[in-house]
Amino acid sequence: MLGIDDPYVLMAYLGAISMSVIGIIYGLVRRNAARDEVTPEDRLWALDEKKVDDDF
């Protein structure tokens, strides 16, 4: 099949392709699953980082 004589090599190619497809599908399904909440702690950290950057 497709000039590949060894079935293990064919399984490796099909496995790599299938894992790539599974990874893409998983990424598309989960791309918006993360919460986008900014906590007061995050705000304080951002202000501290801005202050440090401004000091340089």
% of the chain residues with pLDDT over 90 = 57
Quote the CA–CA distance of 39 and 12 in Å, as a whole number: 46
Q: Are 13 and 3 in contact (CB under 8 A)?
A: no
Question: What tens digit of pLDDT does each residue of 38-52 get?
Answer: 889 999 999 999 988
State residue 1's pLDDT score: 54
**pLDDT on residue 54:** 82
**For residue 37, how far is the Cα from the chain centroid?**
20
Q: What is the pTM of this model?
A: 0.56
